[in-house]
Amino acid sequence: MTKNEIADVLTEIGTLLELKGENPFKTRAYQSGARVLEAMEQSELDTLIREERLKTVKGIGDALAQKIGELHATGRLEFFEKLKASIEPGLVAMLDVPGLGPKKIKAIHDQLGVSTIEGLAAACTDGRVAALAGFGEKSQEKILAGIRNREAYGKRHLWWEAEAIAMPIVAGLRGLSQVLQAEAAGSLRRGLETVGDLDFIVAATEVAPVVEWFVGQPGVKEVTARGETKASVRFESGLQADLRLVPPEQFAFALHHFTGSKDHNVQMRQRALARGLSLSEWGLVPSDGEGTVKEKIERKGEEGGGGGGRDAEVPAPGGAGITSEAGLFAALDLGFIPPELREGLGEIEAAESGSLPELVKLADLRGAFHSHTTASDGRNTLVEMTAAAEALGWEYLGIADHSKSSVQAKGLGEERLAAQVAEIRALNASGRFKTHVFTGTECDILTDGRLDFDDAVLATLDYVVVSVHAAFTQSAADMTARIIRAIENPHTTMLGHVTGRLLLRREGYDVDFAKIIDAAIANDVVIELNASPWRLDMDWRHWRKAVERGLICAINPDAHETAGLEHVRAGINSARKGWLTLEHVLNTRSLEEVKRLFAGS
């Protein structure tokens, strides 16, 4: 098995153990192990296993190392198979019902003997679920609604689409006279490529008008909860949004908690406990003598980062003198950790040592290199794209229309490409725009690694993006060799969308990232972070180690229309999650610097 396949197994083991009611420390070990693997490169895992050093990695003990090794070598794990066999399949299916976690499913199963979705629906219909302690009529109604809509509601949503819904709500909340502070939290704030639901944290002087405004938002299909501290709605798209109302003194703590991630929150709570403190969404207080507040924190367990959660049952302790997240981190002897880094992947250690990077910002970008015009499959002309780039304040724009093999995208042949080059040079010479346009191509990597244009044609361009657009089913070894051959062409400037993935639509093809990154560094080739919200490829999980080894990134919008240029915002999220600074990103450099680089390539 590959590292990602193994990580999926570990995550599933953690969930299944929760269904069985196992010790939370045991379930957390598998979930944390999965995160560690996801952050590794495949070659690193292969080496660690071969050299029997896997158990030296933080977060992987002897037992977990043995299981990972078995999956890696055989693709099977007897422990996992026995665990799956011990749990009725219907209980696992219930995890797809919104609002039902492993603990609630276990309670329903233990007390009612329900083990299928159909049985759960029947138990809700005849009122048996409502009669259970901790459920009630509202919970029962919510479960029934979730069963009816679980297919639509179970979907994740692109960050770009979720943000388009969230930002007007944040702006509207801040405009209410009763609201003192309002922010979006969860995976949206952390800049994850897909979002499960939305969380809004609000400090308000009066609750009722805020709730009334929130549940009346356009596009709301149903109101699933409405109370003094929380309201929940579902939009037509199936996206759920939760509004959490807190006193001003709790705002920083609630924002941090519901921003997550779960792994980050667990590590922060552990750090607080080591200092005799207890950290929760309600505040930071001495861990001794806390009474019901401490019990509630323990009961919350692994919640956070957009997770569900109950309304507060006790008054919140707050934190003396802490009015911001920066203050919260400082109270635990840490520098401020940007939300994008809060994934439990070393950010706390870096904040402690003062080695957190100054992350790249949207304002640092001076242009981009991968955009299309109507000459191929774009929806705007060269002039329109240039005007849009100038409106963004960009110093330069690269045009990289498709090459001839991309027939479905109206790819350019040699003659049409030459005509486009002449048009671009004439546009630059005219002085019509302040934005300089670079001549380029998105040149298909053919099945054997050759490029779609010969060297003489490529030599006429300022730069060349090479990408795979066909034959996705090649083996990982063949695809990797194919891409490396293209990287080694002396005219290649950058590699486009490394895996060809389309988020929530199509998995990427298999490649050996380590070998491709090594080849790019060796040949002075840039790797693109394709900022299309449907791609965000190369994935942020690979970037941190790649740039440490010397790789340069280009945050490219892959824009097919003028509005698409703004997709670089999504790319900035992923770049920040990959710990990238402006020094790591080609398109933070000035026009003159880029011209010199292209002239020498």
* pLDDT of amino acid 153: 56
Query: What's the pTM value of the predicted model, to 2 decimals?
Result: 0.78
Secondary structure E strands in 77-124? none
What is the layout of strands, in order, in the sheet containing 436-439?
A: 367-368, 396-399, 436-439
Contact at 8 Å (CB) between 432 and 497?
A: no
**Stretch (H or E) spanning 221:** strand 220-226
For residue 155, name the pLDDT band (cuts at 50, 70, 90). Answer: confident
Rounded Cα distance between 197 and 189, Å, is 11
Q: Is the pLDDT of residue 588 over 50?
A: yes
What is the layout of strands, in order, in the sheet containing 442-444?
A: 442-444, 465-467, 494-495, 526-530, 553-556
Q: Is the pLDDT of residue 303 over 70?
A: no
Question: Considering only 137-146, 399-408, 428-437, which range has the smallest mean pLDDT?
Answer: 137-146
Token pair 């002239």 in the structure block, residue: 599
Judge if the upstream peptide bond of residue 538 is cis by omega within 30 degrees of 0: yes
Which amino acid is located at 285 in the chain?
V
Say how many C-beta atoms besides its own lie within 10 A of residue 425's C-beta: 13
Q: Is the pLDDT of residue 248 over 70?
A: yes
The number of residues making up the chain comes to: 601
Which amino acid is located at 66 in the chain?
Q
For residue 305, name the pLDDT band (cuts at 50, 70, 90). Answer: very low
For residue 504, name the pLDDT band (cuts at 50, 70, 90). Answer: confident
pLDDT (mean) for 73-77: 94
Question: 93 versus 462: which is more confidently predicted?
Answer: 462
Query: For residue 179, which phi and psi values (nearest 5 degrees)?
Result: -95, 125
For residue 316, name the pLDDT band (cuts at 50, 70, 90). Answer: very low
Q: Pull the structure tokens for residue 393.
A: 């304040």
Q: Is the pLDDT of residue 357 over 80?
A: yes
Rounded to 10°, the helix 568-577/159-174 angle is 100
In percent, the amount of the chain with pLDDT more than 90 equals: 77
Q: Is the pLDDT of residue 164 over 60?
A: yes
Q: What angle do CA 68, 70, 73 make, to 5 degrees?
A: 105
Say how many C-beta atoms besides its own lie within 10 A of residue 168's C-beta: 12
Domains and CATH numbers, the chain: 3-85 (1.10.150.110), 89-153 (1.10.150.20), 157-353 (3.30.460.10), 362-600 (3.20.20.140)
Instruction: Sort strands 442-444 and 284-286 into parallel, antiparallel or unpaired.
Output: unpaired
* pLDDT of amino acid 148: 80
Q: Is the pLDDT of residue 409 over 60?
A: yes
pLDDT (mean) for 546-562: 96
Q: Where are the alpha helices (DSSP H) in 198-241?
A: 208-215
* pLDDT of amino acid 601: 58
Instruction: Sort strands 179-184 and 197-204 into parallel, antiparallel or unpaired.
Output: antiparallel
- Average pLDDT of the chain to the nearest whole number: 91
Contact at 8 Å (CB) between 41 and 47?
A: no
Q: Is the pLDDT of residue 295 over 50?
A: no
Q: Is the pLDDT of residue 105 over 70?
A: yes
Q: Is the pLDDT of residue 115 over 80?
A: yes
For residue 315, name the pLDDT band (cuts at 50, 70, 90). Answer: very low
Q: Is the pLDDT of residue 579 over 60?
A: yes
3-state secondary structure at position 179: strand
Q: b/e for 448-479, b at 16 or more Cβ within 10 A? A: ebebbbeeebbeebbbbbbbbbeeeebeeebb
3-state secondary structure at position 529: strand
Rounded Cα distance between 463 and 491, Å, is 8
